Amino acid sequence: MKILNLLLPTAFLAVLVIGLTLFFTTEDREVSEMENRELQTANFSTNVQDIISGKLTKEVESYISDQFAFRDDWMKSFVKFQSATGKTVIKDQYYVDARTGWIVSKAADLVPEEELDAFVENFKNIQEGLSAHDIPMAFFTFPAKATYIRKPSPSFVPEDMGIKNNARLHEKLTANGIDNTKIMDAIPKAVDVHDMYFKTDHHWNMFGAYQGYLALMKTINERIGEKIEPIPFEEKNMSCLPNDFSGSWNKVLYLTVANDDQICYNYPESFENQFSVYMGKVGEGKEYTFNDIYAGAKNMDKNEFVSYATGYSLDYAMLSFLNEDYDSDKHIVIVKDSYMNAIQFHVASHFKQTTILDLRYSKGDPVNMIAELDPDYVFFAYNDRNFNVVEQY
């Protein structure tokens, strides 16, 4: 009986000791790719004040939690448990349809009026600043997945306010004299939005990006007064990677959602020799080619996961494109977020010079930055869920 009684306490202690041993023997990680954040490492605050205030103990607790053995597997199991128990909003962010593989974001609320006003005010200041340098500008919104993919999701979820928020924003921009367009309005109604996006990522896929590119060129033509013919979407230009895709939303869910997402490309072969690209202003630093910037995942191991960023292009503070085979001799600047990455070469292929700016990675006044480039036209192109783009610089 005594041995039987000791069974549970011994097993319990064994679990704890094994956990402790694994913790000490597992190598520390500095970053969690899944959680997209830095992990606490063993660099602790050790001065007397930090010890007395309890800062040190908090850091040690974070360290143990962050470096706990098999942390990602525990987290993944928890998400699977939540899905298995029918949780409507997983991780308080997403509706998951396990049958189809779609991940849909939680419905957004109405953006407060003051927030929209502040956003528009910022653009008004930028427009005034650019006008002083005789640089025309326009503001475009790309259709975000979160705004247009609302199904499949439970029937009882509230209405997403994305479309209303976007409409309110464009009304305010117009009322303040800022040239603007919803790119979605220029995309043919016949296009099924479910074909435009990755199921497990917050970005559009190649087909969706291409629709965006076609619509964008149409709106750009209207601004610059030219009739540039965009490159048609052709099957012969299509290629897809065999790699598994790590969608940004699926990563938050520890890649637990099975899906058929795939990184695909659609561009003519000529792109590979057509451009000189600089990570900065033209002539600054090393000259890069198309293959250095775009579709780097083609060289990755087939067993590696590919994300939207590694699949198309990383975000750079400034990319300058010189194009030998252009339709227009204009120099345009596009201030963008990551939605543009999939189609930046497509757009650049029409102009003699194109500069792509990402204010999230730049420092300084955007007006001065753009004025120094002396472009013919500036286009701001952001996905329509992005309401703090200007404040980010």
Partner 1 sequence: MVFSSLIFLYVFLPLVIVLYFISPKWFRNTLLLIASLFFYAWGEPKYVVLMLLSIVVNYIMGIFIDKADGKSKRLTLLVATILINLAILGYYKYAGFFIDIYSDITGQQVEWEAVPLPIGISFYTFQAISYIIDVYRRDVKANRSLIDLSLFITLFPQLVAGPIVRYQTIDEQIKSRFTSSSDLMIGTRRFIQGLGKKVLIANPMGEVADQIFALSAGDLTTGTAWIGIIAYSLQIYFDFSGYSDMAIGLARIFGFRFEENFNYPYISQSITEFWRRWHISLSSWFRDYVYFPLGGSRVSHQWKVYRNLLIVWTLTGFWHGASWTFMAWGFYYGIIICLEKKFILKWLEKIPRFFRHVYVLILVMIGWVFFRADNFAYSWDYIKTMFFMTDNVAYDYNTIVYLMDYAIYFVAAIILAIPVYIMYQKWSETKAEHSIGFAIPLRIVQTVIYVGLILFITMFLVNATHNPFIYFRF
Binding track, positions 266-285, relative to partner 1; x by CB under 8 A: --------------------
Please report whether residue 13 would count as binding partner 1 according to CB under 8 A. Answer: yes
Please report whether residue 6 would count as binding partner 1 according to CB under 8 A. Answer: yes
**Which CB sits closer to partner 1, 66 or 337?**
66
Closest C-alpha among 195, 237, 227, 223 to residue 346: 237
Residues in 151-190 that interact with partner 1 by CB under 8 A? 156-158
List 7, 42, 175, 190, residue binding partner 1 (CB under 8 A)? 7
Kindly indicate which of the ranges 49-57, 271-279, 316-324, 326-334 contains the residues binding partner 1, using the contact rule CB under 8 A.
49-57
Please report whether residue 364 would count as binding partner 1 according to CB under 8 A. Answer: no
Binding track, positions 226-255, relative to partner 1; x by CB under 8 A: ------------------------------
Please report whether residue 81 would count as binding partner 1 according to CB under 8 A. Answer: yes
**Which CB sits closer to partner 1, 156 or 363?**
156
Quote the least distance from Cβ 180 to partner 1, whole Å: 32
Quote the least distance from Cβ 103 to partner 1, whole Å: 17
Quote the least distance from Cβ 82 to partner 1, whole Å: 9
List 68, 207, 288, 387, residue binding partner 1 (CB under 8 A)? 68
List 17, 132, 238, 240, residue binding partner 1 (CB under 8 A)? 17
List 29, 34, 41, 89, residue binding partner 1 (CB under 8 A)? 89
**Which CB sits closer to partner 1, 80 or 124?**
80
Please report whether residue 9 would count as binding partner 1 according to CB under 8 A. Answer: yes
**Which CB sits closer to partner 1, 219 or 250?**
250
Quote the least distance from Cβ 51 to partner 1, whole Å: 6
User: Encoding tokens for residue 366?
Assistant: 């955007």
Contact residues for partner 1 (CB under 8 A)? 1-9, 11-13, 15-17, 19-20, 23, 51-54, 57, 60-61, 64-65, 68, 71, 74-75, 77-78, 81, 85-89, 156-158
